[in-house]
């Protein structure tokens, strides 16, 4: 079976630890629940992701070289 998360078009998905999550929330002045969502069952989500975790996604961008977005893992 094909591992979708390893495909060249799927951006890097990284789990953040609690300290990194707090830094992100403080930087953007938002609550965890205000973050966009990603389903736990999303094939690109890290295998270790659990509901309530925050995932950092780094995409290639034509305008900024790399675009960084954050997603809250939901069921």
Q: Which residues contact residue 37 at a Cβ distance below 8 angstroms, ignoring those fewer than 6 apart? A: 71, 72, 73, 74
- Nearest in space to 47 (alpha carbons), one of 12, 18, 5, 19: 5
| Residue scoring higher pLDDT (57 or 61) | 57
The pLDDT mean for the chain works out to: 91
Q: What is the pLDDT of residues 8-43, one digit of tens each?
A: 778 889 999 999 999 999 999 999 999 999 999 998
User: Residue 1: what pLDDT?
Assistant: 66
pTM of the predicted model as reported, rounded to 2 decimal places? 0.85
Query: Which domains, ranges and CATH numbers included, belong to the chain?
Result: 4-74 (3.90.940.20)
pLDDT cut 90: percent of the chain above it = 68
Question: To the nearest 10°, the Cα dihedral for 35, 5, 3, 41?
Answer: 0
* Residue 46 and residue 34 in contact, taking contact as beta carbons nearer than 8 Å: no
Provide the 3-class DSSP secondary structure of residue 61.
strand
């Amino acid at each position: 079976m094909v591992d979708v998360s390893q495909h060249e078009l799927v951006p890097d998905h990284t789990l953040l630890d609690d300290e990194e999550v707090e830094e992100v929330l403080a930087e953007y002045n938002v609550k965890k629940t205000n973050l966009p969502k990603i389903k736990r069952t999303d094939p690109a989500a890290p295998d270790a992701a659990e509901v309530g975790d925050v995932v950092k996604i780094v995409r290639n961008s034509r305008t900024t070289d790399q675009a960084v977005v954050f997603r809250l893992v939901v069921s």
